[in-house]
């Protein structure tokens, strides 16, 4: 009879191998499912993050579109207001203290539209003159008749001189839109619409 330290029974070796294989399979399955769960959790997290980012992007895009539409609407309103009151807006940047409601337009006998500004003689007037004296902006009596002071825009004065309507400061003009006037000053050149305007202490209804 042979003797040894360890048993060499084939059956016990097979059982040991089966047990070891089973343990390996169970452990592998365990780690496999853990891996699947981790992947699923990562995918869900990524989807949430992506959804949040998409929501933020969508909100920002909507806000940008809303702001753009509001800016367009505001611009359209401003343009409409300027069209409705184009004359006052022109002058707000050329002369301080003007009253936009004091501007009006009259049509001359030859069909030309003329721009007037009503300014009473008893109120201070903030106009820089290239010719004349602002202190003369008052009603003058000539030959027993009243003559109203008239201040001309720079370009309008040149046109009227070429047409022979007046030559010098202090010249009178009869029947100027139905009234007698005396030219008391010419405004400095503004490179704007004021260069074609008239300042007079008469409102629209008082002129023909």
How confident is the model at residue 155, as a pLDDT? 96
Alpha carbon of residue 138 to chain centroid:
41
| CA–CA gap between residue 201 and residue 116 (Å, rounded) | 10
**Range 171-191 average pLDDT:** 95
Given a cut of 50, is residue 38 above it in pLDDT?
yes
How confident is the model at residue 34, as a pLDDT? 60
Q: What is the mean pLDDT of the chain?
A: 76
DSSP states of 40-70 as a string?
Answer: HHHHHHHHHHHHHHHHHHHHHHHHHHHHHHH
| CA–CA gap between residue 154 and residue 50 (Å, rounded) | 67
Of residues 147 and 64, more confidently modeled: 147
How confident is the model at residue 65, as a pLDDT? 60
For residue range 75-86, list pLDDT tens digits in order: 655 554 554 444
Kindly report the number of other CB atoms within 10 A of residue 123's CB atom: 11
* Domain residue extents for the chain: 9-84, 95-206
pTM value is 0.56
Given a cut of 80, is residue 101 above it in pLDDT?
yes
């Amino acid at each position: 009879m042979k003797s040894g330290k360890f048993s060499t029974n084939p059956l016990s070796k097979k059982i040991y191998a089966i047990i070891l294989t089973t343990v390996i399979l169970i452990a592998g399955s365990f780690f496999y499912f853990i891996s699947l769960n981790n992947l699923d959790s990562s995918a869900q997290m990524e989807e949430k993050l992506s959804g949040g980012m998409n929501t933020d992007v969508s909100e920002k895009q909507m806000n940008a579109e809303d702001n753009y539409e509001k800016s367009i609407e505001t611009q359209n309103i401003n343009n409409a207001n300027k069209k409705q009151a184009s004359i006052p807006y022109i002058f707000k940047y050329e002369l301080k203290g003007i009253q936009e409601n004091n501007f009006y337009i009259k049509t001359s006998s030859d069909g030309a539209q003329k721009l007037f500004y009503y300014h009473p003689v008893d109120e201070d007037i903030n106009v820089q003159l290239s010719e004349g004296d602002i202190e003369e902006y008052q009603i003058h009596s000539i030959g027993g008749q009243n003559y109203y002071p008239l201040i001309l825009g720079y370009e309008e004065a040149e046109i009227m001189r070429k047409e022979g309507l007046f030559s010098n400061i202090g010249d009178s003009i009869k029947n100027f839109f139905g009234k007698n006037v005396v030219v008391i000053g010419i405004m400095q050149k503004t490179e704007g619409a004021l260069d074609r305007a008239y300042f007079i202490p008469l409102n629209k209804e008082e002129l023909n």
